[in-house]
Amino acid sequence: MGTIDSVLKENRLFPPTDDFRVKANVSGMDGYNALCDKANADYAGFWGELARELVSWKTPFTKVLNEDNAPFFKWFEDGVLNVSYNCLDRHLDARGDKTAIIFEADDGAVTNVTYRDLYTRVCQFANGLKSLGVQKGDRVVIYMPHGVEAVTAMQACARIGAIHSVVFGGFSAGALRDRIQDAAAKVVITANETVRGGKTTPLKAITDEAMSLGGCDSVQKIVVFQRTQNAPEKWDALNIWWHDLIQGQASECEPEWMSAEDPLFILYTSGSTGKPKGIQHSTGGYFLGTQVTMKWVFDYKENDVYWCTADVGWITGHSYIAYGPLGIGATQVVFEGVPTYPDASRFWSMIEKHKVTTFYTAPTAIRSLIKLGGDLPKKHDLSSLRLLGTVGEPINPEAWMWYYEVVGGSRCPIVDTWWQTETGANMIAPLPGAAPTKPGSCTLPLPGIMADIVDESGAPVEAGKGGFLVISKPWPSMVRTIWGDPDRFKKTYFPEDYNGKLYLAGDSAHRDENGYIWIMGRIDDVLNVSGHRLGTMEIESALVANPLVAEAAVVGKPHDIKGESVVAYVVLKNARPEGDDAKRIAKELREWVAHEIGKIAQPDEIRFGDNLPKTRSGKIMRRLLRDIAKGAEITADTSTLENPAILDQLRQSAI
Ligand code: 6R9
């Protein structure tokens, strides 16, 4: 691990203001330490008490944690609950008329949805799904625009015990087909089109294409929400309009009472191989994770106007839009569009308009908005803000300082939240009324989260030394398995190297002298492009599926705004192209990848070679490819290289 060392040294410290600390749900480091001590003294008791306080149970659990079949841990296993009940019904008496969602469409139109409205919408749609034969345990794929209906569809699934699998609306027909097939979905919910940044994308047509790729025989119905006036090209017996489905449906729907361990949803994420993993989450433990972090990390208060800018297609949109804020009874902004449309002050004018108090976004958005108009926030009244958050990738100290000073007026704590699709909820983050923050560090593990940094043997590394980030005790909102592949779950997350005892996050990190954690990056072949996880193998498989391509290797390269960009090294079946030919083929390959996976996976740079640098045993030397992509001197030992001349060729061939 000697090679994983960080060069970043950041010593500025930003404690919360006295005013924030005094009012905070967890106040001061004493408050934080008291919670940690409690978790250390009685782990099960600690989580059990939180689960009773923050979750409404139909039948209370008698057992907190069952470790008999580790790493297939069970939490609150004999407890019975329904997540949709927890997000809607339990608020009706006290908050029925409170706004649950302030929806702002791409074109700026605003719709307010109260808790009672949302309850009715969810019940009617849940009854609609039932009328299609959807039952507890069935899988439903949701491929929709970000908006009230996507949240309604997720909540309706939760209400009737169906397992949703949301597929990000930017994914291609191929990616959608793979997910429908892997989960054997009974119903797909989509829309005729999405509208983002003034442009439409024909989701229904892409769904039709996915179906035509084959392997989707499980699908019995495709429900289509009408987002725009444009009629879909194709319409057949499989299709039903959302508005026709809910027509005449009762506005009450008795929740399906679920065991805490019944799956709530699957969400696919990239890993080290070509095949995305269906991360399976539970009902009780997952929901608890969202609630406890809303309370501690987002310091939730009844009058907050909370806004998380993620899309429901990602885990952040699941935990911090569809479930977390609704579970705790918050008013939240849901935004359909993009931060740069109609111009780069969209976020700032929305914060002003809706008097947002809590704003949660990604470093990549912050960096692009600095570039497009670092002074724009100053033209808006952002005084409603009291707390800022970031997620998805490490935030560089410059972007952090700008966010802190220009957006937060040097008054709002920033919660830099480290977590993953697999962890279900925030894991390492400052409690904003307690931990002084340092720009670029996600600071300290949450109480009850046993994070550590270890070497190859599993022994903790000393402060300042890089190592593997692990979690040494199960936690309630953790991934339960990989859908249909428990062996892969075990091998990926609880590897034998650590005797199957430690959860391996897949990130490298180090601790500083104050015990603060600094995430350094992924240790596997996963790129983080604009906060989105992309497997290099996935992109490679897409490239070699093109008839022109013989071989491909994909690596990441540091990028100012996206964090990382995608660089593809490609060997064609025919001779290496040059000049205009090379440009034309590069364009064709980019479009191909967009079509196979989605635009987010398109290589920013393509380099054609006669071959790839390989060891004598035939392994592609990715370290060299990363150095070439960066334009860096090659320092690695190239003596084991079969074909050293190839390096010069690749160095000169960027397109
Ligand atoms: C929530 C989410 C997970 C990976 C994770 C890490 C990176 C997320 C981060 C962060 C540094 C943070 N990551 N948050 N790195 N600081 N605050 O993003 O889930 O899409 O599964 O990605 O993202 O590398 O392992 P997911």
From residue 108, alpha-carbon distances to 191, 312, 343, 349 in Å are 19, 19, 12, 11
Q: Does the annotation list 195 as a binding residue?
A: no
Q: Does the annotation list 466 as a binding residue?
A: no
How many A from CA of 418 to the centre of ligand 1?
6
Q: Does the annotation list 420 as a binding residue?
A: yes
Would the pLDDT of 4 be above 60? no
Q: Does the annotation list 417 as a binding residue?
A: yes
Shortest CA distance to 420 belongs to which of 581, 528, 561? 528
Instruction: Name residues whose C-beta falls within 8 Å of residue 587's C-beta, 6 or more positions apart in sequence.
Output: none
Q: Which of 418, 522, 525 to mutate to test the pocket of ligand 1 (most atoms within 8 A of CB)?
A: 418
Q: Does the annotation list 465 as a binding residue?
A: no
Shortest CA distance to 165 belongs to which of 275, 41, 303, 277? 277
Closest C-alpha to ligand 1, atom 4: 420
| Strand arrangement of the beta sheet that strand 387-391 belongs to | 110-114, 99-104, 331-335, 305-308, 358-361, 387-391, 414-417
The predicted model gives 154-183 an average pLDDT of 97
**377: Cα separation from own chain's centroid:** 26
Would the pLDDT of 585 be above 90? yes
Question: Rounded distance, CA 474 to CA 480, Å?
Answer: 10
| pTM metric for this prediction | 0.93
Question: Using one digit for the tens of pLDDT, what is the confidence trace for 177-229?
Answer: 999 999 999 999 999 999 999 999 999 999 999 999 999 999 999 999 999 99
Segment (H or E) for 179: helix 173-183
The predicted model gives 548-577 an average pLDDT of 94
Instruction: Name residues whose C-beta falls within 8 Å of residue 28's C-beta, 6 or more positions apart in sequence.
Output: 21, 433, 434
Listed range (143-147, 422-426, 640-644) with the worst mean pLDDT: 640-644
Q: Does the annotation list 47 as a binding residue?
A: no
Task: Kindly list the protein residues whose Cβ atom lies closer than 6 A to any atom of ligand 1.
Answer: 269, 314-316, 391-394, 416-421, 442, 505-507, 519, 522, 528, 531, 533
Q: Which of 8, 281, 311, 393 to mutate to test the pocket of ligand 1 (most atoms within 8 A of CB)?
A: 393
Question: Rounded distance, CA 528 to CA 546, Å?
Answer: 24
The reported pLDDT for the residue numbered 433 is 98
Structure tokens at 510: 């180090």
Q: Which of 420, 428, 600 to mutate to test the pocket of ligand 1 (most atoms within 8 A of CB)?
A: 420
The predicted model gives 407-423 an average pLDDT of 98
Residue 517, phi then psi, degrees to nearest 5:
-100, 135
Question: Using one digit for the tens of pLDDT, what is the confidence trace for 91-119?
Answer: 999 999 999 999 999 999 999 999 999 99
Residue 588, phi then psi, degrees to nearest 5:
-60, -40
| Strand arrangement of the beta sheet that strand 605-608 belongs to | 549-559, 563-572, 605-608
Closest C-alpha to ligand 1, atom 22: 420
CB environment 633-647: b (16+ within 10 A), e (fewer): ebeeeeeebeeeebb
How many A from CA of 507 to the centre of ligand 1?
9
Would the pLDDT of 8 be above 60? no
Per-residue pLDDT band at 1 (split at 50, 70, 90): very low
In terms of phi and psi (left: phi > 0; alpha: psi -120 to 50; beta: otherwise), the region of 458 is left
Per-residue pLDDT band at 596 (split at 50, 70, 90): very high
Would the pLDDT of 522 be above 90? no
Q: Which atom of ligand 1 is nearest to the CA of 316?
A: 1
Would the pLDDT of 570 be above 90? yes
The reported pLDDT for the residue numbered 275 is 82
The DSSP result for 205-239, as a single string, is HHHHHHHHTS--TT--EEEEE--SSPPPS---TTE
How many A from CA of 501 to the centre of ligand 1?
22
How many A from CA of 479 to the centre of ligand 1?
15
Question: Rounded distance, CA 1 to CA 31, Å?
Answer: 35
Q: Which of 314, 493, 507, 517 to mutate to test the pocket of ligand 1 (most atoms within 8 A of CB)?
A: 507
Q: Does the annotation list 394 as a binding residue?
A: yes
Residue 399, phi then psi, degrees to nearest 5:
-65, -40
Axis crossing angle, helix 28-41 with helix 43-54, rounded to the nearest 10: 120
How many A from CA of 485 to the centre of ligand 1?
23
Would the pLDDT of 2 be above 70? no
Closest C-alpha to ligand 1, atom 5: 420
Closest C-alpha to ligand 1, atom 8: 392
Shortest CA distance to 427 belongs to which of 462, 385, 459, 473? 473
Residue 483, phi then psi, degrees to nearest 5:
-50, 120
Please confirm whether the linkage preceding 71 is cis (ω < 30° from 0). Answer: yes
Residue 487 three-state SS:
helix
The reported pLDDT for the residue numbered 78 is 98
Contact yes or no for 67/245 (Cβ under 8 A): no
Listed range (133-147, 258-272, 549-563, 613-627) with the worst mean pLDDT: 613-627
The reported pLDDT for the residue numbered 652 is 84
Question: Rounded distance, CA 555 to CA 566, Å?
Answer: 6
Structure tokens at 303: 């009058």
Question: Using one digit for the tens of pLDDT, what is the confidence trace for 348-389?
Answer: 999 999 999 999 999 999 999 999 999 999 999 999 999 999
The reported pLDDT for the residue numbered 572 is 95
Closest C-alpha to ligand 1, atom 16: 394
Structure tokens at 517: 């954690």
The predicted model gives 67-86 an average pLDDT of 98
Q: Does the annotation list 221 as a binding residue?
A: no
Closest C-alpha to ligand 1, atom 19: 420
CB environment 371-386: b (16+ within 10 A), e (fewer): eebeebbeebebebbb
Q: Which atom of ligand 1 is nearest to the CA of 314?
A: 20
Q: Does the annotation list 549 as a binding residue?
A: yes
Closest C-alpha to ligand 1, atom 23: 392
Q: Which of 297, 396, 419 to mutate to test the pocket of ligand 1 (most atoms within 8 A of CB)?
A: 419
Q: Does the annotation list 296 as a binding residue?
A: no
Question: Using one digit for the tens of pLDDT, what is the confidence trace for 37-73?
Answer: 999 999 999 999 999 999 999 999 999 999 999 999 9
Closest C-alpha to ligand 1, atom 3: 420
Residue ranges in 515-655 assigned as alpha helix (H): 536-544, 579-596, 622-630, 646-651
Q: Does the annotation list 15 as a binding residue?
A: no
Contact yes or no for 613/625 (Cβ under 8 A): yes
Question: Using one digit for the tens of pLDDT, what is the confidence trace for 234-289?
Answer: 999 999 999 999 999 999 999 999 999 999 999 999 877 778 899 999 999 999 99
Closest C-alpha to ligand 1, atom 1: 420
How many A from CA of 181 to the centre of ligand 1?
27
